[in-house]
């Protein structure tokens, strides 16, 4: 199912990843229906500047919890890329849009008789499980434990796990062709001018405020002026590679089920050293706290489908240079 000259809906079109999906689809002469909660907001101005956007990009005002608005945007499309996802930390704000919103999208897809739906989930739907051992390599059969997510109040992981599980069940019961992609920490150049959650991880690292777990928090400075930082494993993937993966699993007839999308496993100390070698003049941390080894993820299934990944250095330079251009650094 080649995407050239087709008509596709991309939900949450103004987001970090979704903007790249729109850009790639436009480059293939496709017509795009992009959904946004507020198309008139200046933060989405970058979409109108993309090549071929003036003739091939149509923006729709839509909300994940408003079925009719999604139905209007999806009607007439060959396929749908469901990328929109809420990221606040209030569990009510997070879980309902993620689960009910995704089911609304799938219901509209079923009614519109689209050929295939690609749903961007997250590695968060795989990693949160007390059964996983240190250093275990996880594949697409692995799921986060929903009760464990609740008991540890990890609402982001819970929302991603519930949304993806419910989506696959809905598709199975209703005969909808659905493929899911589960990326890890997405970095790389931004097209939008605003900061998103995954971009903040790197910006705050460069600026001296650091990410712990799934929350971004500022820690008390020690006498040297540096914070202690958990030396955890970072599983990084380039936004351009994820966008290519999302389109690849739509196009390849043999694509099915879930696909983990991750490229580089790197400890935080090594990530800091890599950044220092390219950009020596930022305030990097000196103190690290060792943590237990975490499970790792394998993209073998996606690579067998034909995807290859950019080098980490290309991702880091692409990230930082785009942040500078956007005035974020």
Which residues are known to be catalytic? 160
Convert the chain into a string of H (helix), E (strand) and C (coil): CCCCCCEEEEECCCCHHHHHHHHHHHHCCCEEEEEECCCCCHHHHHHHCCCCHHHHEEEEECCCCCHHHHHHHHCCCCEEEECCCCCCCCHHHHHHHHHHHHHHHHHHHHHHCCCEEEEECCCHHHHCCCCCCCCCEECCCCCCCHHHHHHCCCHHHHHHHHHHHHHHHHHHHHCCCEEEEEECEEECCCCCCCCCHHHHHHHHHHHCCEEECCEEECCCCCCCCCCEEECCEEEEEEHHHHHHHHHHHHHCCCCCEEEEECCEEEEHHHHHHHHHHHCCCCCCCCEEECCCCCCEECCHHHHHHCCCCCCHHHHHHHHHHHHHHCCCC
Taking alpha carbons only, the member of 48, 51, 49 closest to residue 25 is 51
Which distant-in-sequence residues (6+ apart) come within 8 Å of 306 by Cβ?
Answer: 248, 252
Q: How far apart are the C-alpha atoms of 35 and 11, rounded to whole Å? A: 5
Pairing of β 185-187 and β 233-238: parallel
Structure tokens at 159: 């929302």
Structure tokens at 21: 């999906």
Structure tokens at 283: 């305030």
Residue with tokens 């849009």: 97
């Amino acid at each position: 199912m080649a995407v050239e000259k087709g008509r596709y809906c991309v939900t949450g079109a103004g987001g970090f990843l979704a903007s790249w999906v729109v850009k790639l689809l436009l480059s293939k002469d496709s017509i795009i229906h992009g959904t946004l909660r507020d198309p008139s907001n200046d933060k989405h101005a970058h979409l109108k500047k993309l090549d071929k956007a003036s003739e091939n990009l149509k923006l729709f005002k839509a909300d994940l919890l408003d079925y009719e608005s999604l139905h209007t945007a999806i009607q007439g499309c060959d396929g749908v890329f469901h990328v929109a996802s809420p990221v606040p930390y209030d569990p009510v704000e997070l879980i309902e849009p993620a689960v009910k919103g995704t089911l609304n999208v799938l219901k509209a897809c079923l009614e519109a008789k689209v050929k295939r739906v690609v749903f961007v989930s997250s590695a968060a739907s795989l990693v949160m499980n007390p059964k996983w051992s240190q250093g275990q390599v996880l594949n697409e059969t692995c799921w986060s434990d929903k009760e464990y997510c609740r008991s540890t109040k990890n609402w982001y992981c819970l929302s991603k796990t519930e949304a993806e599980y419910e989506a696959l069940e809905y598709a199975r019961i209703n005969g909808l062709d659905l493929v899911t992609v589960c990326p890890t920490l997405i970095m790389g150049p931004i097209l939008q001018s605003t900061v998103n959650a995954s971009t903040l991880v790197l910006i705050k690292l460069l600026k001296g405020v650091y990410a712990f777990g799934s929350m971004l928090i500022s820690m008390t400075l020690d006498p040297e002026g540096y914070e202690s930082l958990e030396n955890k494993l970072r599983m990084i993937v380039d936004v351009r590679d994820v966008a290519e993966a999302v389109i690849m699993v739509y196009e390849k007839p043999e694509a099915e089920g879930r696909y983990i999308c991750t490229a580089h496993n790197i400890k935080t100390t090594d990530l800091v050293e890599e950044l220092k070698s390219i950009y020596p003049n930022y305030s990097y941390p000196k103190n690290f706290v060792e943590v237990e080894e975490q499970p790792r993820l394998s993209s073998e299934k996606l690579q067998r489908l034909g995807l290859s990944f950019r080098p980490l250095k290309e991702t880091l330079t692409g990230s930082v240079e785009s942040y500078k251009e956007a005035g974020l650094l």
